[in-house]
Homo-oligomer: A and B are copies of this chain.
C-alpha cells in the first residue's frame, strides 16, 4: 500500500547562524540542505513510502555534500543529475520573540537546477516509475525553462495515471513587481493539472484574483476554496491558518476540503524552535493521509500534528515518524522517555 513518490524541486543549502546571533556578530554557520520537495519527500519516506527527488546538483564538492545529505534523509537520488556549477543557498538569522528571523538568499537563478538544459530529465521514464509527484510555487517562480519542465512532468505523470500535488507557496520576493499578475496564468496551469493542492484563501484572492465580501479569514476561506476546487477540478485542497505570538509560540489550524466538504483540525498552540519547513510537514501529512486513505478528519489532524512537531526540530526537514505524530495527536505532552 506504500507508494512511490517523487518531488521536482531545487535543493538549497541552508547556512544558519547558531543560536540567536546576527551574521555581523558571529563567525560560524551550521549548514544543511533542504527545499520544499526535499522536505516533503523526506517526511514521506519516514512514513514508509519510497521517495525520490528529481533535481540537478553541481558537479563539485558542494553537490557531493548535498547528495550525501539527501541520502542521509532517506531520499533515493537515482533521478538526481549532477551538472552545472552552483547550488542555491540562503543565510538564516534566527529571530527571538519580538525580533523576526531573517533570510538572505544567494543568486539561486544561476543554480544547477535553475539552469538545467531542457533535455536534462527523462520525464516519461520518471513518470512511469512513480505513483505521485509534488511541485511547489517556489519552483514556478524561477524562470520559463523551469516552468516548462514542471508542466511537462506534471502532464507526463497525469497521463500515466499518477497523482499531481501542487503547493501554491507564493513568495512575493521571487515574483517581483506585479508579481501576482505575472504568476496568475502559471498557477492556473498547475491548478488544472493538480489533484491535491495546498493553499488558503489568500492565494485565491491575490494570485487567482478572486473576490469576496467577507472580512474574516475563516469566512473567506469557506467561501473561496470551494470555488477554486470547482473551477480547476481539484479533488483535495488543504492548508493552514497560522497565528504568531510574541512569546516564541505559534497557533496553527489545518483544513481539508474534499468531496465538497470542509474538515478542520483543532487550533494547536505550541512553542516554536525552528519554523522553517513546517508547512512542508503539513503537506506531507495531507499527502500521506490521502495515499493511505485516512478519513478526512484523521488526515487533517495528522497533518496539523506533523506541522506542529516540525516546529520543534532544527532544520527545514521534518523528522517525525508516523508513530510519533499519532502519539502527538492523542496524548498530552509527556515526560522524558526512558
Contacts and interface: CB of A to CB of B under 8 A. Distances in A.
Interface of A: 15, 19-32, 60-62, 64-65, 68-69, 71-74, 85-86, 89-91, 93, 95-107, 110, 171, 173, 242, 244-249, 269-273, 275-276, 308-309, 311-315, 319-320, 324, 328, 332-338
Contact of A23 (B62, B95, B244): B62
Contacts of A30: 27-29
B104 A91 contact: no
A271 B23 CA distance: 21
Contact of A99 (B173, B248, B312, B332): B312
Given A22-B319, A72-B72, A85-B107, A98 B314 contact: no
A22 B273 CA distance: 13
Instruction: Give the number of copies in the complex.
Output: 6
B25 A319 contact: yes
Contact of A309 (B68, B99, B107, B271): B99
Contacts of A308: 98
B31 A27 contact: yes
Residue among A29, A65, A328 facing the most chain B CB atoms (10 A cut-off):
A65
B332 A95 contact: no
A273 B97 contact: yes
A273 B18 CA distance: 14
Contact of A246 (B65, B314, B333): B333
A214 B308 CA distance: 36
B22 A338 contact: no
A337 B28 contact: no
Contacts of A74: 68, 71
